[in-house]
Each structure stands twice: as C-alpha cells, then as structure tokens.
Structure 1
Amino acid sequence: MITPVARRHAVSGDPPPGWLLTALVGDGCAVLPDLDTHNPRTVATARDFASETLSAWGVGELLYDAQLVVSELVTNAIRHAGGTIQLRLMRNESHLVCAVTDGSAALPTISDGDFLSESGRGLHLVDALASSWGWILINGKGKLVWAVFTL
C-alpha cells in the first residue's frame, strides 16, 4: 500500500496528482535502478540519464531544471537515506515527473539554514523549479520523493 503525505511547504498544498500514483505501478517509467551510494559519479550518472531520457522524449526545454532537481533528490537520498536508491522519470501529456526512491522513512524537510551554510538549499531549489513536489511513504519500504514539472 502506498500512503501519500502532504508536505509542510507545498506549493499548492495539494496531495500528489492521482495519475502519479497510478504511474508508479505501471510500465511507463524510465528507471535507473540500484544507484551506487558509494560511487562519487552516481549523481552525474543520474543527471546523464535524465538528459538522455528527456532528449529522447522531446522535452529538452526542461532539461536544465530537471537535471538540477534530479541532482538534488539523488544527493539527498545518498546523504540522508542511503541504502538502495532508484531514479524514475515519468511523462504524460502535460507533466514530467522526477522521482527518487530510497529505503528510509525519514521525511524530507526544507531547512531554515543561514546564508553562510554550505548545504541545506537543495529542497529550496526543488521547490522553486518544480510545479509541485512532495513524498509518498511506501509502507515498510521507505519513500519516494517526487517533483512535477508542467510541460
């Protein structure tokens, strides 16, 4: 069972789009499975995968923003969750989704760090670039953090 969770800093305050939950169990996703959390090139590999996939899908106008969001989501999963990480990219007629699964049930939080901090701005970038974002707890199996872009 998948449990949607509304995030505290939601852009729209809405739960995840209904089609997102349906897409998670379908075959319409481009998947980069089992990302190596100990390889220093993992984030670059995820960015390259996003670039190739978006180019093949003809949505190059979102390439830079999507690469940045993928980088932040994968980095957060490596830094805060560990374990098995997977990147999923999904597209329908009007939306693109970048989603990262990890084995931790710890919820992502936007930090209120000061301007001198070396980290803590990633989810602020995701919030600024994506139409909406949030997370879905997967009972007993961690979470999926998603970001939606409008095409």
Structure 2
Amino acid sequence: MTQMRDSGQALIWRWNDRTRHAASRTRVALQCALHELEIPDETVGDAMMAAWELTANALEHARGPYEMRLLRKGPSFVFEIEDSDPLLPALLSFRTGGVEADTELPERGRGLQIVEAFARGRWGFRLSESETKVAWMAISTAPED
C-alpha cells in the first residue's frame, strides 16, 4: 500500500541491477501507487507513459540502486526516479514550437518528447542530496484550462 509520509512523499519502490523483471514490476508498482493516491483515471494512462520514459532512461543509462517516489505538491504530484549516476544529461530544447511534419526525428530522445508533452515543460533532472541523479516530472491532477 502506498502511503504519503508526513513530508508529503510516498516511496513507491526500490530495486537494484539484480532485481528480476524490474521493468514490469516497476510499471505495476507505479500504476498501483497512482490509483491508491486517487490520481484521476483520465490522468493515470498518460502519467504512466511519461513516468515510464524517465524510468526506462534510468534503467538504460545508469546503474542502480534505483528509487521511485511520488511527492504531493498541493493538488498535484511530482514523480521522481533516482539512480546512482551523478551526471545530469544535456537536454535538447523541446520547447521550440514542435516538430515539422517533414522533419526526421532522431533515433534517440523521442521518449523525452512524451514527457515534455505530458508534463507541459514541468520536468527535468537534478542532483539529490547524496549527489545522485533524479529525473522528475509534474503530474497535474487539476482539470486543464
């Protein structure tokens, strides 16, 4: 069961490089947490897709241990995935007005476009207090304007 701590933070799951079936178990843990915290159903699918993109990047580009969290920020939540890599990635600008129909997309980095679209620019990377990388994104539970 996912419960918010007094700090407004919920630990969803911790795992390491030896955890069997980590990808599928991570998705299940996240989906259960989103439902338990009563994030609206219409938000859960997109939140899952965007959060999975950040998680998949951590699994592909960094070593464990990993930790997945949700933090309550007023009526919304912040999803975080922490890995052991101290290097923050260089980000391409996704805020340039979109991609033209005849523009060829790069082979890598498309997942971050999903995160950008879902989080509407409210996502990024930061260093934790222990100098490890944290990828984060906002999950708005308020109706869109």
Query: What TM-score comes out, normalization by structure 1 length?
Result: 0.69
Q: Distance in 2 between the 1:73 and 1:110 partners? A: 13
Match of 1:17 in 2: none
Cα distance change, pair 38–111 in 1 and its aligned pair in 2 (3 A): farther
Q: Distance in 2 between the 1:111 and 1:44 partners? A: 28
Q: Matches of residues 54-133 of structure 1 in structure 2 within 5 Å?
A: 54-59=34-39, 60-110=41-91, 114-115=104-105, 117=107, 119-131=108-120, 132-133=122-123
Match of 1:19 in 2: none
Q: Distance in 2 between the 1:146 and 1:26 partners? A: 20
Unmatched 5+ stretches in structure 2? 94-103
Shift of residue 27, structure 1, vs aligned partner: 4.2
Q: Deviations over 1:86-124 (max 9, x none)?
A: 110123432121100111122134459x5362x421111
C-alpha RMSD over aligned residues: 2.5
Preserved contact between residue 13 and residue 26 of structure 2 (Cα < 8 Å): no
Preserved contact between residue 80 and residue 137 of structure 2 (Cα < 8 Å): yes
Match of 2:138 in 1: 148
Shift of residue 51, structure 1, vs aligned partner: 1.3
Q: Distance in 1 between the 2:17 and 2:92 partners? A: 23
Deviation above 4 Å: which 4+ runs of structure 1?
A: none
Shift of residue 37, structure 1, vs aligned partner: 3.2
Q: Distance in 1 between the 2:114 and 2:85 partners? A: 22
Unmatched 5+ stretches in structure 1? 1-24
Match of 2:100 in 1: none
Q: Distance in 1 between the 2:71 and 2:129 partners? A: 22
Aligned residues: 125
Match of 1:136 in 2: 126
Percent of counterpart pairs with the same letter? 26
Query: What TM-score comes out, normalization by structure 2 length?
Result: 0.72
